[in-house]
Amino acid sequence: MKRATIEDVAALAGVSRQTVSRAINDKGEISPATKEKVMAAVQQLGYQPNRQAQSMVTQRTQTVGLVIPDISNLFFPEVARGVQDTARKHNYNVLLCNTDDDPDEEIRMLHSLAAQGVDGIIIIGNAADQVTTQTFADSYGPIVMVNRFFDHPNVNIIIVDNEQGAFLAVEHLIQQGHVKIGMLANKNFSRSQVRRVRGYEKALTENGIPYDEALIVGASPTLEGGYNALNQLLGEHPEITAVFTYNDLMGIGAIRAAHDLNKRVPQDLAVVGFDNIGLSSIFIPSLSSIHVDKYEIGQRAMNRILNMLDTPNKSFAPIELPVTLIPRESST
Amino acid sequence: MKRATIEDVAALAGVSRQTVSRAINDKGEISPATKEKVMAAVQQLGYQPNRQAQSMVTQRTQTVGLVIPDISNLFFPEVARGVQDTARKHNYNVLLCNTDDDPDEEIRMLHSLAAQGVDGIIIIGNAADQVTTQTFADSYGPIVMVNRFFDHPNVNIIIVDNEQGAFLAVEHLIQQGHVKIGMLANKNFSRSQVRRVRGYEKALTENGIPYDEALIVGASPTLEGGYNALNQLLGEHPEITAVFTYNDLMGIGAIRAAHDLNKRVPQDLAVVGFDNIGLSSIFIPSLSSIHVDKYEIGQRAMNRILNMLDTPNKSFAPIELPVTLIPRESST
DNA sequence: ACCTCCATCGTGAGCGTTCACGCCAAGTTT
DNA sequence: AAACTTGGCGTGAACGCTCACGATGGAGGT
């Protein structure tokens, strides 16, 4: 069974293609009577316009690319849902790309998305070849970056208040009486990584605790990364009684590592994470964290893309999302 | 900067469009010399063929739809990665759709994918309006279903050995000395749900333990669902010493619930889950589970789609994936 | 010298839309 | 009554590509 074309509808309704088009996209210039007639024919044939053909002439594919490190990382599914749900509301499709934090892979993904002809791109995460990004921003449509910085008329940014979040987390640990506070950081360079370290440092120094880089150990921002990093940190600095981790996955990995070392959490080691993923409230002990509205990030990113598409030359203010501390069992 | 077209390349290389096309898709009928010349022009202009235009004539969009309940559910990201990585290797794109286990939403998604013109569809999970599926299978391209059954030449299926998995899980609990074994089931109807209950029943009866439906309580297959379900089950049947859960998320929810009831796992309550998601080995206590190769599911589903696309009239055997028991702290 | 043949390349059409026009009749103005 | 407007609709072209042909030319055979 072949798919109906606009021509078929036109024939059945006894009008021209253009009239059918007018009826469907109701851009006026059509009488109610003929419109009804056309719509009946559309219904009867189950006609749906061919997206590819539409794209050819409108130069819009109704598709955006979403580039993330890894959808298996618990942070990103929620963001992706935010993007997808919003996209779908506006008849947009989302092409998901995983970079695994590999800059080369990211570049490949960007090229692939360009070839596919997406209307806009949302990029989250670390990797970033500045040159490629520049090229894209110059010759391409709207780009929204999350937790990354890039100054370009085609590029908008969304950031969460990483420094403040880290500050709140560490200050909380200090208020609980901790002094020897380590940090499990992200070994990959990223803007959020830098800001979270800065917040960590700020909380310490503002409370008269010397900042010691040796207490920061980097690892991959995963369960395993956190597990290994805590072992390393406690091996080198057994005096530590609390850790702030780059994200919740590392925090949970750290709790597990402490458990395997026969250390009780929080009595022997307090842990505070970042991102407040769904798992953290369930884990035993539940993990204190900095709440970030991940779904909202996705929503706002997608909406921003749509706005930029609507008004190409308007410039938009960066979006900064607030964070809050959620104290739980792992630190109280 | 406008994107280069095939015409631009042709002009620069001093040949015709067709020759450029021949050079790019190397379908023979071209001399090495001109091919080289064309490729140089392609390189120089950074030419990439327009996908929409290609689709118009080839009737292939190089895109497949992946319909899942919810990407936030830890089971699906791995499957999605399997699909995406495989797709990307073959120059395919993946359109991800979340149904939230809502049959109406699933139907809407299928229509949306049809309108988009995907080359094939992969569907995972429960919901299923038989009529719509039938319509699609009839008029549409290849469909691969995971853990669902549908007999149709256009439809291929991939199933994991759910019954055997459940059997292994429950038998394991019995071997640990448990007799009062409950089950936290999926309240949504699904093929895997039915099979896992059957495996549960089989293990009990084969070991001379009476099967009692009252020991099965249904809930949504999530952390919260497992949490609530265990509370309910222990409220009604405090004699229970072990539970088999529909999936790992429910298992972890159950462990958390037991913890909040001051029950020790596994001493007071043993738990075995299903799916072996990455989290289960990290959780405290780590969760025994039935291992399912989720990434492989995605890979095979995508490959099967490609096979069906290549040889439209060939019929393929269903794929059945084995499962294995991974005993961990929660039951030993 | 002629014809044949194959390798190489170009030409027109068409995929299904939308956009910029142009046309026509009926109503409105002067 | 002639001229002007306007709502309603149709026509050709264009988007960028591939496919089925047709054209060309030089190598080879007779």
Q: Does A11 touch chain B (CB under 8 A)?
A: no
Coil, helix or strand at residue A268: coil
What average pLDDT is seen over chain A? 92
- Check A116 against B138: CB less than 8 A apart: no
Q: Does A74 touch chain B (CB under 8 A)?
A: yes
Mean pLDDT of the A119-126 span: 89
Give the pLDDT of residue B13. 87
- Check B282 against A256: CB less than 8 A apart: yes
Residues with CB under 7 A from strand C: A 3, 5-7, 17-18, 21, 24-25, 27, 47-50, 53-54, 56-58; B 14-19, 28-31, 33-35, 53, 56-57
Residues 112 to 171 of B: which have CB under 8 A from any A CB?
112, 114-117, 138-139
Does residue B16 reach within 7 angstroms of strand D, measured from its CB? no
Spatial separation of the C-alpha atoms in residues B174 and B322, rounded to whole Å: 22
Q: Does B282 touch chain A (CB under 8 A)?
A: yes
Mean pLDDT of the B74-83 span: 96
Strand order in the sheet with A216-219: A216-219, A181-186, A242-245, A270-272
Please name the residues in contact with B169: beta carbons below 8 A apart, sequence gap of 6 or more.
Answer: B199, B200, B203, B244, B272, B273, B274, B288, B289, B290, B325
Give the pLDDT of residue B140. 80
Both tokens of B115, joined, read: 């309108």
In this predicted structure, the answer to whether residue A295 has a pLDDT above a threshold of 90 is yes
pLDDT tens digits, residue range A234-247? 999 999 999 999 99
Contacts of B98 in chain A (CB under 8 A): 81, 84-85
By Cβ distance, the residue of B61, B259, B284 closest to A52 is: B61
Domains, chain B, with CATH or none: 6-49 (1.10.260.40), 61-160+294-320 (3.40.50.2300), 162-292+327-331 (3.40.50.2300)
pLDDT tens digits, residue range B190-221? 889 999 999 999 999 999 999 999 999 999 99
Residues 197 to 226 of B: which have CB under 8 A from any A CB?
223
Coil, helix or strand at residue B92: coil
Contacts of A115 in chain B (CB under 8 A): 48-49, 51
Give the pLDDT of residue A184. 98
> Which stretch of A196-205, A266-275, B26-35 has the lowest confidence by average pLDDT?
B26-35
pLDDT band at A190 (very low <50, low <70, confident <90, very high): confident
* Window B98-137, strand D contacts by Cβ < 7 Å: none
Please name the residues in contact with B162: beta carbons below 8 A apart, sequence gap of 6 or more.
Answer: B147, B191, B192, B195, B196, B199, B323
Q: Name which residue leads in pLDDT, A132 or A38.
A: A38
- Check B259 against A284: CB less than 8 A apart: yes
Give the pLDDT of residue A127. 60
Closest C-alpha to A331, from A278, A236, A264: A264
In this predicted structure, the answer to whether residue A309 has a pLDDT above a threshold of 80 is yes
Q: Does B95 touch chain A (CB under 8 A)?
A: yes
Does residue B313 reach within 7 angstroms of strand D, measured from its CB? no
Spatial separation of the C-alpha atoms in residues B4 and A2, rounded to whole Å: 33
pLDDT tens digits, residue range B118-173? 999 999 976 666 777 787 778 788 999 998 888 888 899 999 999 999 999 999 99
Taking the CA of residue A53 and the C1' sugar atom of nucleotide C16, their distance in angstroms comes to 5
- DSSP type of residue A313: T
In this predicted structure, the answer to whether residue A212 has a pLDDT above a threshold of 70 is yes
Alpha helices in B209-332 (DSSP H): 223-236, 248-260, 294-310
Tell me the CB-side half-sphere exposure of residue A131, using CA atoms within 13 A: 2
Q: Does A24 touch chain B (CB under 8 A)?
A: no
Radius of gyration of chain A from its Cα atoms, rounded to whole angstroms: 25
Spatial separation of the C-alpha atoms in residues B110 and B134, rounded to whole Å: 12
Both tokens of A40, joined, read: 């009946």
- DSSP type of residue A154: T
- Check A114 against B48: CB less than 8 A apart: yes
Taking the CA of residue A31 and the C1' sugar atom of nucleotide D6, their distance in angstroms comes to 13
> Which stretch of A57-61, A189-193, B244-248 has the lowest confidence by average pLDDT?
A189-193
- Check B284 against A282: CB less than 8 A apart: no
Closest C-alpha to B201, from B181, B221, B177: B181
